[in-house]
């Protein structure tokens, strides 16, 4: 999938199982939105194939669209339309829509039901967007960054709703750059960057990785040049050292107490004064860092 010279999706191949929540995780510009929009039939891939519910999303679009629910990033309603009026309109395009008032209440849209779209807060616009994706009772839902910028309470409400969708028999594909969202919600996580699939698996599979864990080193003065390479050499094969910034790095690998001791010795020899040395289980964030060499949320 290319836009002019830029390649947005590159040889990316993945499958989504029914009745699951799948998270596509990646930093901004990784190709998450392009991936979703290709599944939604907005873009025709230059190479490769896409099947959604067994249908070609471009050629068989009219058969596919009533069966899926879509929440786009950014707005998707007229500036002058009232929140609940918009939801009611979308419901009228479907044969068996959800009860609009109940759905609105569930997403806390009751208070702003008569407010024009342009005066809704960003969070309210996002919740309306999610409601618009769900009101037609789709069997497959594509939600692009459903909770970006939402406050924690509303984020939890949204998560519960997405979990209930799975329980009730729908399939959810969401993009996110929030680790905790992927860890909490997803049955499967696909990590992508630069349009390539870097890793796939359940959150547990991705974070467990055998006996792999992490050691985080935070120092008071910047590391000397070449520190990651020298530390890696001191620790031996099977470990990865990633510099997070000039004052912290993370060691990934079969890290245990003896590794911790070796890190400490390396610090002493290299005149590095650690402020903290901590041993921890690998998080998705660490996985992501190791895979891409960059932080998820810049």
The reply on whether position 44 binds another protein by CB under 8 A is no
* 220 burial type by CB count under 10 A (0-12 exposed, 13-18 middle, 19+ buried): exposed
In the complex with another protein, which residue's Cβ is closer, 59 or 281?
59
Q: Is there binding between residue 119 and another protein (CB under 8 A)?
A: no
**131 binds another protein, rule: CB under 8 A:** no
Query: Any contact of residue 54 with another protein (CB under 8 A)?
Result: no
CB 137 within 8 A of CB 96: yes
Residues facing 188 on adjacent strands: 22
Q: Is 74 one of the binding residues for another protein (CB under 8 A)?
A: yes
Q: Which is nearer to another protein, 132 or 296 (CB)?
A: 132
3-class SS of residue 29: coil
Select the span of 159-167, 173-181, 191-199, 212-220 touching another protein (CB under 8 A).
159-167
165 binds another protein (CB under 8 A): yes
Query: Which residues 200-219 are close enough to bind another protein by CB under 8 A?
Result: none
Interacting residue with another protein among 20, 42, 56, 254 (CB under 8 A): 42
> CB–CB of 173/146 below 8 Å?
no
114 binds another protein (CB under 8 A): no
Please state the closest distance from residue 74 (CB atom) to another protein, in A: 6
Nearer to another protein, 11 or 80 (CB): 80
Residue 47 contacts by C-beta under 8 Å, 6 or more apart in sequence?
none
**Would you state the torsion angle of the CA atoms of residues 175, 178, 181, 182, taken in this order, to the nearest 10 degrees?**
60
Angle formed at CA 203 by CA 35 and CA 181, multiple of 5 degrees: 65
Q: Rule CB under 8 A: say whether 102 interacts with another protein.
A: yes
Count interface residues toward another protein (CB under 8 A): 43
> Taking CB under 8 A as the rule, does residue 194 contact another protein?
no
Least distance in angstroms from the C-beta of 115 to another protein: 14
The yes or no reply on residue 76 touching another protein (CB under 8 A) is yes
Out of 4, 169, 210, 225, the only residue in the binding site for another protein (CB under 8 A) is 169
How many Cβ atoms are within 10 Å of 83's Cβ, its own excluded? 26
Stretch that binds another protein, among 134-142, 147-155, 253-261, 290-298 (CB under 8 A): 134-142
Give the DSSP letter string of 251-283: EEES--HHHHHHHHHHHHHTT--EEEEEEEE--
CB of 112: closest distance to another protein in angstroms? 17
Which residues, at least 6 apart from 247, have a Cβ–Cβ distance to it below 8 Å? 218, 219, 220, 221, 222, 223
Q: Does 170 bind another protein (CB under 8 A)?
A: yes
Q: Taking a C-beta distance cutoff of 8 angstroms, is the pair 67, 138 a contact?
A: yes
Closest CA to 8 of 35, 28, 42, 37: 35
Considering only the stretches 101-109, 208-216, 263-271, 277-285, report the one whose residues sit in contact with another protein under the rule CB under 8 A: 101-109
The Cα angle at residue 292 between residues 141 and 22, in degrees rounded to 5? 15
Partners of 140 in the beta sheet? Answer: 68, 171
**Applying CB under 8 A, does 106 fall inside the site for another protein?**
yes
- Residues that bind another protein in the complex, under the rule CB under 8 A: 40-42, 62, 65-68, 70, 72, 74-81, 85, 89-90, 92-96, 98-99, 102-103, 106, 132, 134, 136-139, 161, 164-165, 168-170
């Amino acid at each position: 999938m290319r836009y002019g010279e830029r390649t947005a999706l590159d040889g990316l191949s993945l499958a989504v199982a029914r009745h699951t929540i799948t998270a596509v995780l990646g930093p901004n510009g990784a190709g998450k939105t392009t991936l979703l929009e290709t599944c939604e039939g907005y873009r025709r891939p230059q190479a490769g194939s896409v099947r959604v519910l067994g249908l070609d999303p471009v050629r068989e679009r009219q058969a596919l669209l009533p069966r899926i629910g879509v929440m786009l990033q950014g707005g998707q309603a007229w500036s002058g339309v009232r929140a609940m009026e918009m939801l009611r309109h979308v419901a009228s395009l479907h044969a068996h829509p959800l009860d609009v008032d109940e759905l609105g209440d569930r997403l806390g849209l009751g208070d702003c039901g008569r407010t024009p779209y342009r005066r809704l807060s960003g969070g309210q616009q996002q919740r309306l967007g999610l409601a618009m994706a769900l009101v037609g009772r789709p069997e497959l839902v594509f939600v692009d960054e459903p909770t970006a910028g939402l406050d924690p309470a509303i984020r939890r409400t949204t998560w519960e709703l997405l979990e209930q969708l799975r329980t009730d028999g729908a399939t959810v594909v969401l993009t996110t750059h929030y680790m905790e969202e992927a860890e909490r919600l997803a049955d499967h996580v696909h990590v992508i960057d630069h349009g390539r699939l870097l890793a796939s698996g359940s959150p547990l599979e991705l974070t467990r990785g055998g006996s792999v864990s992490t050691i985080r080193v935070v120092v008071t003065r910047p590391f000397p040049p070449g520190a990651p390479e020298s530390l890696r050499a001191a620790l031996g094969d099977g470990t990865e050292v990633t510099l997070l910034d000039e004052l912290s790095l993370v060691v990934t690998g079969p890290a245990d107490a003896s590794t911790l001791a070796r890190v400490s010795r390396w610090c002493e020899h290299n005149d590095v004064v650690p402020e903290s040395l901590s041993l921890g289980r690998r998080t998705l964030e660490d996985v992501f860092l190791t895979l891409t060499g960059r932080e998820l949320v810049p």
